[in-house]
A and B are shown apart, each in its own frame.
Chain A
């Protein structure tokens, strides 16, 4: 869900970036963090808690809480909230499921 029109901010049209999440094709925009692009695509479950196996969304968006860590281009534990989205990125988490928003 993107903001259409904003009373203060101008969201300029940016270049589309193609990436995959758990094997599914998705799009984001130039300047997105991986996390922001995932939220826009309706992804809420980012990781799971180690001890209780409960799903975690992301919380702080600034690199402090470690809830948003995913495997990006085969590198583990990448903070998706602090990492800019790049063309062709392969993003994966352990939850293996994807909910696509219509």
Chain B
């Protein structure tokens, strides 16, 4: 069995940040990433990030991924790609499946940074080919340069829906409309303004009723909703499109934690099932820490900061004190506070209160 000081599961912004801090503290680290490349969702983000300088504000997401990966490669952390962690066991053993090989790894501490997956939307014929998650569309056009369609409708006005709509236009795809079931736009106003000046209609109080097509998407029927989320009869409209993007939120990929029977709680504001953890980011499983979207859906800027804190604490737990421990602990917690203290942070603050993390 392979033995490590720290195993990090997930090579996205939270995982990479945890690896770097832990390696700096002297731990022998191994990161396991199920995809063929590190970087998580950052690699397909072509837009400039928000936040402050320490979270790489004004740098494009894909460049942030390169920075984080380069930083990791400077350490002696071991990187396992195409490696899916298929089991987490109570004695801090993980089982890994990689290229036809199945093996076990034991660690003094583990950081779960598995991120999140896209939610789906229930409507008639929602399984038609041509209906994609917004993340899938980003992967196609920003990584592979393949267009998902010529005329797209976006569902959901959170930041992802707004940003991916803009990225579709940049790639030369027509975005015919963005529909949002709620009575207001969910994401940042600046993202919405960009779409409006590009001529994209944003239809609030509107949802998709039905998708139509023989074997593939050809058009959708939208319908207006009243204050109680009920369909308003007679308000149906048809929009012809060959691709529909669903961007209705993310849900934490909690499966490994649930498997190992960590204390979990379903919190709407955090996107789904999340682990209960201490202020040291340790779950109820001794030596198992969690950071990033798996602990509650937020932005990449928060994921990076949380990853650093988890790495710092996982190191301390295992007897490795980072040379700048006190400075980092204060600085990182303060950064998280600042990111969350504005009106945009209301949802996450509410969610964190429910898991007992905020007074």
Contact = CB atoms under 8 A, between A and B. Distances in A.
A40 B140 CA distance: 9
A44 B130 contact: yes
Contact of A3 (B133, B172, B215, B216): B172
A39 B253 CA distance: 27
A1 to B, nearest CB: 4
Interface in B218-264: 253
B60 A8 contact: yes
B17 to A, nearest CB: 20
Contact of A45 (B118, B135, B142, B216): B216
B133 A54 contact: no
A2 B146 CA distance: 4
Interface in A42-63: 44-46, 49, 54-63
Contacts of B144: 31-33, 36, 40
Interface size class of B (residues with CB under 8 A): 20 to 34
Contacts of A17: none
Contacts of B128: 55, 57
Contacts of A65: 133
A62 B117 contact: yes
Q: Enumerate the 7 nearest inter-chain pairs by beta-carbon distance, A residue then B residue, closest first.
A: A57-B129, A61-B136, A36-B144, A44-B129, A1-B147, A11-B145, A3-B145
Interface of B: 34-36, 46, 60, 117-118, 120, 127-133, 135-136, 139-148, 150, 170-172, 215-216, 253
Given A54-B127, A57-B130, 16 more contacts: A2-B145, A3-B147, A3-B172, A4-B172, A6-B170, A6-B171, A7-B170, A36-B140, A36-B143, A40-B144, A44-B215, A45-B216, A46-B129, A59-B131, A59-B133, A81-B136
